[in-house]
Structure 1
């Protein structure tokens, strides 16, 4: 995978913390960072500048998943331990030098980026999580990827989450659809499916049918019901991320969670060896990318197939 360079590891430890002289204003990828030493994750000691530099290091890996897509943001201007909010549309005073506005229905506009400076601008604005829709910015009415979010309820073991992900994969393969697993930076897994553009109604109905079939086949372990009371001891196969304005976490995005965990694409044969906590931090991602011989999702774009016209 010659086009991608593994990020250089710049510090030891697990938090991504580095010794830096205090600075009031710095620039990363041509973007001016104000208050670069503002701490975004207190428990890990990670600052705004560290987040921006991390994104610059992993740009080759995250780029295919964020450029030309409609993005939504979890913004925590004062850091992950302070007030955060989910932003789906552009706000007043948006940085149009580095960010693009995507016209929406009515008077609203969404955000898109096409280069590294856009990603750094999001870090400057306190975006600790980056989510994306399942469409491109140019074709909002059609899905180009599906996401099955496997969300374990209380009492569910990691091996059961892995088994559920493999069951999703098996059912998709019957329709000649290729799927790719991702650690979300939390307790669950995403199974992501590249597809040829399809209407949102078709995409959502297909995913709903897969989830409901799994729940019917193994009701003791799987549920397709949103109610939290139905999730205890079960895995919720969340198909609801497959609608026009629904979003899912972007590969290699940080999370506004303790430890500044990161969503990381995986290969299927890696799942059994993952720890139950299923998380990477920034330095863990650096070490991983320095060791990888190829991107586990390198075939993602060329694996697109057409959704079946009828229900599974």
Structure 2
């Protein structure tokens, strides 16, 4: 029998707590659940009212890894779900609104990925995102250079940018926007990616041409498309170690001289949240959202 936890009055079944999910770190499923319970206060606001896609890795990153976009079988009736438009019709997806739903979802062992729009208004983007992906030997250090350029360029248009690690090799630059469709944010993101390549031709690529990737940073803006999702802030990633997509300060981005400086594991996040609170909190403030030119 799976142990049942009582979470804010809901009964949540938790399974295989002793299973080691990250063998390189000896990090167990119980520790995954503990991590999500610890960061719930900063994570939940970024999940609320957003359809969630789960990148599941129930046996760890070395096992089967697969995307689950529809409501999984056995989802408790108290977990919020929403109808989401797809290329072909629509489908019902999970919306993680509260702590019991978060703990139920964490028990599935999954990365959390969200769209740049809220359920109920899929035609209106409220986020813009740039996924900076380094082609070796480039690293997150080069991504930081590109992120600083994007930050300044967005500021010219009155848009305030924030950064987080991808939890893998790169960096995400995000901003809150309003009054724009996903099509428009995608166009605007492409304009800036092209501009960045023009400004820094030795460093930046705006197209994913594999042969040109080595040593350059690919500015991937595809995640602004209405049907695409991006790893949510604070999600664990399916990597060898329990790495987190962690918000970072611009001082940390400016000061990054080696890749290890911007690697954050599950255990690093509680002290960071105590020190900084939610560095991406301003993304949730509609008053601070910028308008695209």
Q: Secondary structure at the match of 1:165?
A: helix
> Tell me, which stretches of 5 or more residues in structure 1 are unaligned?
1-22
Separation in 2, partners of 1:57, 1:64: 14
Q: Which residue of 157, 169, 181 corresponds with 1:175?
A: 157
**Residue matched to 2:83:** 103
Separation in 1, partners of 2:24, 2:44: 28
Separation in 1, partners of 2:41, 2:171: 23
Q: Secondary structure at the match of 2:242?
A: coil
> Tell me, which stretches of 5 or more residues in structure 2 are unaligned?
none
Q: Which residue of 123, 133, 138 corresponds with 2:106?
A: 123
1:296 Cα deviation after fit: 2.4
**Residue matched to 2:51:** 70
Separation in 2, partners of 1:146, 1:72: 18
1:131 Cα deviation after fit: 0.7
Q: Would the aligned equivalents of 2:124 and 2:178 in 1 still touch at CA under 8 Å?
A: no
Separation in 2, partners of 1:96, 1:136: 22
Cα distance change on mapping 1:107 and 1:241 into 2, 3 Å = closer
**Residue matched to 1:283:** 267
Superposed structure 1 runs of 4+ greater than 6 Å apart: none
1:28 Cα deviation after fit: 6.0
1:49 Cα deviation after fit: 2.0
TM-align CA RMSD: 1.8
Per-residue Cα deviation, 1:177-217 (whole angstroms, up to 9, x for no partner): 00101011111110001011411111100000000111122
Separation in 2, partners of 1:36, 1:188: 31
Cα distance change on mapping 1:56 and 1:152 into 2, 3 Å = same
Q: Secondary structure at the match of 1:191?
A: strand
Cα distance change on mapping 1:159 and 1:80 into 2, 3 Å = closer
Per-residue Cα deviation, 1:86-123 (whole angstroms, up to 9, x for no partner): 122224x2414343221134252122111011111112
Separation in 2, partners of 1:184, 1:144: 20
Q: Would the aligned equivalents of 1:98 and 1:113 in 2 still touch at CA under 8 Å?
A: no
Q: Would the aligned equivalents of 1:172 and 1:179 in 2 still touch at CA under 8 Å?
A: yes
1:233 Cα deviation after fit: 1.2
Q: Secondary structure at the match of 2:176?
A: strand
Separation in 2, partners of 1:283, 1:215: 36
Structure 1 window deviating more from structure 2 (172-181 vs 39-48): it is 39-48
**What's the TM-score, normalizing by structure 2?**
0.91
